[in-house]
Amino acid sequence: MNSLKRKIIAATLSMALIGAQAFPVGADTADDIAAVQAQQEQTNAALYDVQSSIDSLEGQKQEILDQIEGYDQQLVLTMASIQSLDQQVAQKEKELDKTAKDLKKAQEDEKVQYEAMKKRIQYLYEQGGRNGWVDVMMGDVTLSEGMDKVDNTQSMYKYDREELENYTKTAEEVKKLQAQQTQQKSSLEAMKQEQEGAKANLEALKEQAQAENENYDQQIAQAQATANEYYALIEQQNAQIAQLQEQKAAEDEAARQAAEAEAARQAAAEQAAAQETQTDETYTDDSYNEAASDDNGSYDDAGSYSESTGSSATQTTVSAPVSNGTGVSGSSIASYACQFVGNPYVWGGTSLTNGADCSGFVQSVYRQFGIGLSRTTYTQANEGVAVSYNDMQPGDVINYGFHTAIYIGNNQIVHAADESLGIIVQSNPAYQPIVTIRRFV
């Protein structure tokens, strides 16, 4: 909910509060009732907007919470990867330490072998190879013995060369291994640095999402506070409407009694005039003289009719028949409404089979019993007779301000819920705050 929308809602609420106090009980009570009902319709519309805003904010908040959960999961994986890389780097460092020691030993062995080989070669050539031919020439040894000395010298030289090459090869391989391990360590450290960057980025995104979540919490709290003010205002308007309706009923009763009294007065006057114009009949025998008269009945102040006959007055009271409402039971309405459970919800619809919204469903159900209700939730809230929650009976209409349902007994309601659910039976009539309960039968 942006700041401009909050200002508009706040201004609407202020105007509604001011208007709710602007209609004291006046002379034209019917106009006062209509004015307060019009105000209440605006309040209900504003409340619907606030509730829609709360639903939207709740949805956006849930998306942020899902993002935070996703960031947490990625952070767990990233930190596990960093820990694994730390272990691999530590292992490579151990391997490099061992390789460095192996290389140092190989190089030292190579140097020792080289120095030893030089000394042996020098000795062999000085003492063995050259002297072998001299001994032959001098006749000290035979040719075969001299050649054996030369061959031994060459074999020893060949052996030393091969050993030196082996030591050199070993040292080179250790060097290559050291270079390879150094490269692997550098690669692992680069991967770790990359993971550290990813971790920092995820932490920043999570922190930002948490800040947005707190902002949504504040907006939802503000919107809910506004909605609570609208609920309080609706209750105040309901009380005002009830007060005005009671006054109107009292005025209507007073007018009815006045009209009946006036009718009784006029009837009595007409009867008196008729008696005065009546002609008495006199019989010829002196012993009997009778005055005949017409009907001597009259109405009392309460509207009852009295009839007098002769000298004995016999009084008969005739009262107007008392209406017993529509003659339809609330249970019949509840049972009829339940026949359409499972049919679709259609915004603006009034068809019990092809689809209706909440107020269209209530209107169409009652229409089948010859009872006319208005079309919208807001206007239905002001029709019928208000009853308390404890006095609620099957067939009563429960109004939630922006939604409406029919009570069917056993702590259940039937209503056109929404497009995903359609027409359903639901437990707990007070699953949302109740604005008013209306009775039409």
What is the per-residue pLDDT across 66-97, written as a single tens digit (0 to 9) for each?
989 998 898 898 888 888 888 988 897 888 88
Output the pTM of the full model: 0.43
Do residues 195 and 396 make contact, with C-beta atoms less than 8 angstroms apart? no
Q: What is the arithmetic mean of pLDDT over 387-402? A: 94
Residue tagged active-site, from 149, 192, 415, 438: 415
Residue tagged active-site, from 64, 124, 241, 358: 358
Q: Residue 141's pLDDT band (boundaries 50, 70, 90)?
A: very low
Q: What confidence score (pLDDT) does residue 151 get?
A: 62
Q: Residue 301's pLDDT band (boundaries 50, 70, 90)?
A: very low
Q: What confidence score (pLDDT) does residue 434 get?
A: 92
Do residues 381 and 399 make contact, with C-beta atoms less than 8 angstroms apart? yes
Check if 370 is active-site: no
Q: Where are the domains of the chain?
A: 3-244, 330-439
Residue in the block written with tokens 């008013």 = 436
Q: What confidence score (pLDDT) does residue 124 get?
A: 62
Q: What is the arithmetic mean of pLDDT over 125-140? A: 50
Q: Which of 421, 377, 383 is nearest to 399 (CA)?
A: 377
Q: Is the pLDDT of residue 392 over 90?
A: yes
Check if 415 is active-site: yes
Taking all residues of the chain, what is their mean pLDDT, rounded to a whole number?
Answer: 77
Q: What confidence score (pLDDT) does residue 23 get?
A: 44
Structure-model confidence comparison of residues 211 and 144, the more confident one:
211
3-state SS record for 416-435: EEECCCEEEEEECCCCCCCC
Q: What confidence score (pLDDT) does residue 51 get?
A: 83
Residue in the block written with tokens 């640095």 = 193
Q: Is the pLDDT of residue 210 over 70?
A: yes
Q: How is residue 402 annotated by DSSP?
A: S
Residue tagged active-site, from 92, 185, 403, 438: 403
Q: What is the arithmetic mean of pLDDT over 273-292? A: 46
Q: What is the arithmetic mean of pLDDT over 379-401? A: 94
Check if 358 is active-site: yes
Q: What confidence score (pLDDT) does residue 18 get?
A: 44
Q: Residue 30's pLDDT band (boundaries 50, 70, 90)?
A: confident
Q: What is the arithmetic mean of pLDDT over 220-236? A: 89
Structure-model confidence comparison of residues 270 and 117, the more confident one:
270
Q: What confidence score (pLDDT) does residue 143 get?
A: 47
How many other CB atoms sit within 10 Å of the CB of residue 96?
A: 16
CA atoms within 13 A on the CB side of 60: 16
Select 330-439's CATH number: 1.10.760.10, 3.90.1720.10, 3.40.640.10, 3.40.50.300.
3.90.1720.10
Is CATH 1.10.287 the right assignment for the domain spanning 3-244? yes
Q: What confidence score (pLDDT) does residue 48 get?
A: 85
Q: What confidence score (pLDDT) does residue 150 get?
A: 57
Q: What confidence score (pLDDT) does residue 149 get?
A: 56
d(CA 250, CA 243): 11
Q: Is the pLDDT of residue 188 over 80?
A: yes
Do residues 386 and 437 make contact, with C-beta atoms less than 8 angstroms apart? yes
Q: Which of 373, 402, 6, 4 is nearest to 219 (CA)?
A: 6
pLDDT 10s digits, 145-186: 545 555 666 676 677 677 778 777 887 887 788 888 788 888
d(CA 418, CA 433): 17
Burial of residue 225 (number of CB atoms within 10 Å: 0-12, 13-18, 19+): exposed
Supply φ then ψ for residue 124, to 5 degrees: -60, -45
Q: Residue 324's pLDDT band (boundaries 50, 70, 90)?
A: very low
Q: What is the arithmetic mean of pLDDT over 239-258? A: 85
pLDDT 10s digits, 327-360: 789 999 999 999 999 999 999 999 999 999 999 9
Most confidently modeled of 190-199, 256-265, 275-284? 190-199
Do residues 334 and 406 make contact, with C-beta atoms less than 8 angstroms apart? yes
Q: Residue 104's pLDDT band (boundaries 50, 70, 90)?
A: confident
Q: Is the pLDDT of residue 403 over 90?
A: yes
Q: Is the pLDDT of residue 140 over 70?
A: no
Between 14-28, 173-187, 357-371, 413-427, the lowest mean confidence (pLDDT) is in 14-28
Query: What is the dihedral sign for C-alpha 340, 346, 350, 353?
Result: negative
What dihedral do alpha carbons 35, 41, 45, 50 form, nearest 10°? 80
Query: What is the dihedral sign for C-alpha 29, 31, 34, 36?
Result: negative
